[in-house]
Amino acid sequence: MSATRVLDTGSRWSWLPVAGLALLYHGLAHDRLAGAMLGLAGLALVIWRDLRLDRTGRGWIVAVIMGIVMGALQLPLGEPPSGPIGPFPLSLLTGAMLGLLYWFLLSEQLLWFGVTQWVLVALSSSVAVTGPLWGVLWAFILGGLVQGGYATGVPQVVFSRRGWPAGVVAATCLLVALSASQALSPRIRALEEPFLAWLQNLMFDPRRVVRASQTRDITLMLRGKMELFPRPVLDLSRTPTRLRTQVMDEFDGLHWSSSSRLRQTRRPLEPAVQGRGAGTRLDFLLLDETLDQIPAPAGTSAGLRFQATVDAGGVLTGVGRVHDGTLWYDPQELLPVESPPGEGMTSLPDSLRAELQPLLQEIVPEAASPLEVARQVEEFFHREFEYSLEVDLMTDGPRQHPLAVMIRERRPAWCVYFASAHAALLRTAGIPTRLVGGYLVPEGGPLTGHVVVREQDAHAWVEVWIESEQRWRMFDPTPSESRQQLLEPQQASGWSSRLGRELQAWARRVGLMLKHHPGQTLARLLGLPLLLLLVPWAAWRWRERRRRGRSGRQGPLVLDSSDPLLGRVRHEFVRSLVRWGVNPGPQETESDLLARLAQRPDAPLPRAQEFVTRYQRARYQQVPADDDLLRLAQF
C-alpha cells in the first residue's frame, strides 16, 4: 500500500494568500468584511495547528451543511445586495462554499480548494463590482492563475525546450478569445434586456409586474401585478400605525408626483432638548441604507443622534449617512397646524372630473362637510371593494378612464388604486387631497415589542385638508380585512413564528450596531447578566480541563519525527483512546494506556496492541507509515 501524499505546513501556508483575496472580495461585495476576516483567521488557524482530515470519508457533506447553517445565520446581520440571485439562496450558496474551503484545506485537496475559491468569487460577483472591488478582483485572478499554474506544473512544461510551442499556441488562443469576447460584449449587452424580458414573459404572467416598495413617483397601469418582497427596511422599538416616506400632490389622471414646492421647501428637524422630546419616543435602525427618506410617523417633532430636514409635506430626509436614531412624534399621529394649501391640491383633468361627478353623487347623495364626504367615500371603498395583488382595468366598450372603470365596476386592486380613486373623488368635490406613500407597521414582537418593517409592508393612503382644523387628516380607503386575509399567508403569524422572527431581528440589530457603534454595543453586551455568568463558568471549565489533563496533544505519543503522516496517525490514535474514555496523562506510556484500555468493556484491545507495535516500528525503526496504519489507529 503506497503512502498517502501529505503536504507540509509550509506548502499549506502558500495556499492562504489567494484564499484571503477571495474572502476579502466576498466580504467587501456583500458588506460582511468582519465575517470574511473571521473565516480567513479560521483557515490560518487550521494551518497553524496543522489540522488534517482523511479525505476518504464523507466529511464534505458535514462541511456543506455547516456552511449552509453559517450562511443562514449571517443573513440577519446584513443581507447581500440585490442581484440575479436572491439574498437568501445567495447566503446559503456562499456559506456552502466557505464550508467546502475548510474541508478541502483540512483534507489537503489543492485543486478543489482553488476551484471553490473561484466559485465563491463568481457568486460574490452577482452584485455590481465597483470601487476597490475591481482591485481585489484582479489581484485574485492573477494570484489564482499563478497559484494554479505552479500547482499543476504548467509553467515548468511551457518553459521547457519541448513545451514552448504549446505555450505559444495557448497564448495565441487566449488572445483570440479575449479579443472575441471584447468584440461581442456590446452585442451581448444589447441582447440581454430583450432576453430577460422574454424569459420573464415565459415564466410569469405577461402582465406588468411591479414591486411592493417605495418610489418617488407612481403611475397607474391598466393591467398589472404586484409582487411582495420580504426584504427588511427598518427596525423600530415600538409600533406606530404607519410611517410616511413620500407626499405627492400633482396628479394628471394617471401619474402622481411631488411638486417643486413640496420638495424644495425644507427646514431642519428640531434636535431633542437635553436628550428628550415632546410626544412618544421611537428608536429606529435603518436596515436598508439606500433609503433617502427616513420613514417616520406623522407629527414627528424632534430627533436625536441624527440630522434630517423636513419638507413641506412633513417627510424626513437624512443629512449625510443615517444609520439609526431616536425621534419623537405626536401620540395620535396628527400632522401640525399649517397654512391652507394652494389650488393645485384640487386640480384634476376635466375628462376625469366629468366621469367621476355622477359616481360621487351616488356615493354621497346629500351635501355634507369635507370631513363627512371623506369619511363616506372611505367607507364606500371598505364596503364595496376587495383587495388584490392583480389589477385589470381594461374594458371592451367605449374608452373610459381606468379609475372610473374601477369605481363603477367594483374592480379589485391594491392600495395605490384605492388611494388614487379616493383622492380623485374628493378633488372632484373640490376638497384638497394628496396621496401619501409609506409603510403600514406590523405587530410588534412578543418579547421586546420591537418590529421589523419590510418592503411588503409598503402602503399608500390619502391626506385630506380639513379647513376647520387647519391641518391635513389621514384617510385610508384600502379594504383592510381583505388585505389582511391576502397578506397573512405570506408570513406565518403564530406565536412561535413571531418569536423566531424577533430573535432573528435581535441578531440583525446587534450586528448592525456593532458595525456602526462597536464600542457602545460591546459595552451593552458585556453588561448582560447572561454574559456575566458565562465568564466564571468558562474559567471553571478551563481550570477543570487543565487539572484533568484532557488535552489529546500531550502524553506519551509526543512526536519527534518529521513525517507528517505519522503525526496524523498519532492524532487519530489519541482521538480513538478518548472515544473509549481513556484520556492520556502527561507521563503515561503506551503500555499504561493499553492497560487502561483493557479495563473498558468491549474495547478493541488486539487492534490497539497491533497499532502500538506498528507505530513504534514506524517511529523508531524508520518504517514508512501508510494508509493501513492510519486506518488501524481509528477504532
User: pLDDT digits over 547-575, tens only?
Assistant: 554 443 444 444 444 566 777 788 788 88
581 inside domain:
yes
99 inside domain:
yes
Round to whole Å and give the CA distance between 296 and 322. Answer: 13
Mean model confidence pLDDT for the chain: 77
- From residue 344, alpha-carbon distances to 258, 374, 418, 427 in Å are 11, 18, 21, 10
614 inside domain:
yes
Q: Please check whether residues 77 and 195 belong to one and the same domain.
A: yes
Q: Please check whether residues 352 and 480 belong to one and the same domain.
A: yes
Which of 132, 167, 199 terminates a domain? The answer is 199
Round to whole Å and give the CA distance between 454 and 442. Answer: 9
459 inside domain:
yes
Q: What share of the chain is helix, strand, coil (3-state, %, to 5)?
A: 50, 15, 35
331 inside domain:
no
Round to whole Å and give the CA distance between 130 and 324. Answer: 26
Which of 47, 69, 86 terminates a domain? The answer is 47
Classify residue 172 as exposed, middle or buried by CB count within 10 Å of its CB (0-12, 13-18, 19+). exposed
Least confident of 182-186, 352-356, 472-476: 182-186
What is the pLDDT at residue 205? 40
Please, how many CA atoms are within 13 Å of residue 387, restricted to the half-sphere of its CB? Answer: 21
Closest CA to 120 of 47, 21, 43, 35: 21
535 inside domain:
yes
Please, how many CA atoms are within 13 Å of residue 300, restricted to the half-sphere of its CB? Answer: 32
Round to whole Å and give the CA distance between 121 and 94. Answer: 9
Round to whole Å and give the CA distance between 392 and 417. Answer: 11
Closest CA to 152 of 111, 117, 116: 111
Q: Please check whether residues 575 and 539 belong to one and the same domain.
A: no
| Residue 532 pLDDT > 70 | no
Positive/negative CA dihedral, 405, 410, 411, 415: positive
Round to whole Å and give the CA distance between 249 and 270. Answer: 25
214 inside domain:
no
Show the domain range for 21: 16-47
Q: Please check whether residues 539 and 590 belong to one and the same domain.
A: no
Q: Please check whether residues 141 and 115 belong to one and the same domain.
A: yes
pLDDT one-digit tens code per residue, 368-421: 899 999 999 999 999 999 999 999 998 887 788 999 999 999 999 999 999 999
Which of 149, 184, 199 terminates a domain? The answer is 199
What is the pLDDT at residue 407? 95
What is the pLDDT at residue 169? 64
324 in Cβ contact with 310 (< 8 Å): no
Predicted model pTM: 0.56
Q: Please check whether residues 431 and 528 belong to one and the same domain.
A: no
Instruction: Give the cell for residue 49.
Output: 495547528
Q: How many domains does the chain have?
A: 5
Q: Please check whether residues 64 and 122 belong to one and the same domain.
A: yes
Per mean pLDDT, which of 88-97, 357-366, 555-564, 588-597 is the most reliable?
357-366
Round to whole Å and give the CA distance between 358 and 365. Answer: 10
Q: Please check whether residues 362 and 440 belong to one and the same domain.
A: yes
Residues whose CB is less than 8 angstroms from the CB of residue 376 and which lie 6 or more positions away in sequence, other chains included: 363, 364, 368
Q: Please check whether residues 37 and 69 belong to one and the same domain.
A: no
Strands 250-251 and 300-304: unpaired
35 inside domain:
yes
Supply angle C-alpha 280, 285, 288, rounded to 5: 135
| Residue 202 pLDDT > 50 | no
Round to whole Å and give the CA distance between 573 and 557. Answer: 9
Q: Please check whether residues 486 and 359 belong to one and the same domain.
A: yes
110 in Cβ contact with 16 (< 8 Å): no
Q: Please check whether residues 82 and 133 belong to one and the same domain.
A: yes
Q: Please check whether residues 36 and 123 belong to one and the same domain.
A: no
Q: How many residues does the chain have?
A: 635
